[in-house]
Amino acid sequence: MQMKNITTRLSLLTLFIAGLLSFSFAAAPKPPIEGRWDITVDVKGTPLPSWLEVRHSGYNTLVGQFVGTSGSARPVSQIHFKDGSFNFSIPTQWEKGNSEIKVSGKVNGDKISGTLVSAEGETFQWTGQRAPKLRKSGEPNWGQPIPLIKANSFAGWKALGKNNNWVVKDGVLSNPKSGANIATEATFEDFKLHVEFRIPKGSNSGVYLRGRYEIQVTDSHGMEPEYDQLGAIYGFLTPITLPAKPAGEWQSLDITLVGRLVTVALNGVTIIHPQEIPGVTGGALDSNEGAPGPLMIQGDHGAVDYRNITITPAR
């Protein structure tokens, strides 16, 4: 009986200590680096968007994910933070040169700044600000649908860069070979979007919502759902199923974007139920997430055709 009482007291003591530790962990203030950050990197005078998320893992370890000026979101295994300064490194994705990209910076309230050392060993300055939450209350009041492709005119679109190969004929917006990306001249905030596309075998494109969040458009027939396959929010959100048609057939995407919440249907099947887009994807136009943005279509990865692009903005 005495041994049983001792065992019971030890168990109660263990629970008490665990409770105290849990309380102290929960009560500990979060370091100011935690959260999501919209970043702009100055690459030889050209501002390029980037993004960082920092969160805690356990009591005193910081982890996260980082989007560079191109490529997908990549996990950060540990972020070192002390006295307002932080640093981390990530393996290169497809860049040539060194094996790591190194990022360091300082926190000043809701702003951060620092340097990025590329795989090639070049050092670039960057600045950032805390990303907006973009939470909306209530259902949107939808306006009138707006067709974005004319019958035989490129009106309403602009090429982003040289080597523009896009043409419009009989209501079909075609990119016969890799060249410039294009964007609408108009900007949008919250909207419903209908897109029909035809992708050749092995080709790749994408539709950037507000110019910042890429929905992958690629030849994915017979593939498993992945974060870089058809219908995914590139690098972030993976479809739950992938009802892709064979290359060369017309397919459709229906997207609703309200704040950060996105819903995606592919060929009439919902593949992403309302989920939050954490931040900008690689290749975005900018990282100013609080502002409206254009619809951008990727043309620098291969041939693709689009038709019947219709957007219904929220009032």
Helix (H, G, I), strand (E, B) or coil at 142: strand
pTM of the predicted model as reported, rounded to 2 decimal places: 0.88
| 169 pLDDT more than 70 | yes
Q: Which of 20-24, 259-263, 277-281 has the lowest mean pLDDT?
A: 20-24
Can you tell me the mean pLDDT for 27-51? 92
- Split at pLDDT 50, 70, 90, the class of 30 is confident
At 137 the pLDDT is 87
At 45 the pLDDT is 95
CA distance 293 to 183: 10
Q: Which domains does the chain have, with CATH numbers?
A: 35-130 (2.40.128.120), 146-313 (2.60.120.560)
Residue 284: count of CB within 10 angstroms of its CB? 27
Q: How far is CA 243 from CA 76, 121, 272, 304, 310, in A?
A: 32, 43, 12, 19, 22
Can you tell me the mean pLDDT for 114-142? 94
CA distance 18 to 46: 52
Environment class of residue 43 by beta-carbon count within 10 Å: exposed (0-12), middle (13-18) or buried (19+)? Answer: middle
Amino acid in position 227: Y
| 165 pLDDT more than 90 | yes
Mean of pLDDT over the chain? 91
Can you tell me the mean pLDDT for 291-305? 96
Residues 233/277, Cβ–Cβ less than 8 Å = yes
Tell me the percentage of the chain whose pLDDT exceeds 70.
90
| 8 pLDDT more than 80 | no
**Unique residue bearing structure tokens 């702009």:** 40
Q: Are strands 157-160 and 85-91 parallel, antiparallel or unpaired?
A: unpaired
Residues 261/276, Cβ–Cβ less than 8 Å = yes
Can you tell me the mean pLDDT for 20-41? 78
Can you tell me the mean pLDDT for 56-82? 92
Residues 207/257, Cβ–Cβ less than 8 Å = no
Left, alpha or beta for 248 (phi > 0: left; psi -120 to 50: alpha)?
A: left
CA distance 19 to 139: 42
**Unique residue bearing structure tokens 């890429």:** 214
| 25 pLDDT more than 50 | no
Considering only residues 133 and 25, tell me which one the structure prediction assigns the higher pLDDT.
133
Closest among 56, 96, 60, 94 to 76, alpha carbons compared: 56
Residues 270/263, Cβ–Cβ less than 8 Å = yes
| 208 pLDDT more than 90 | yes
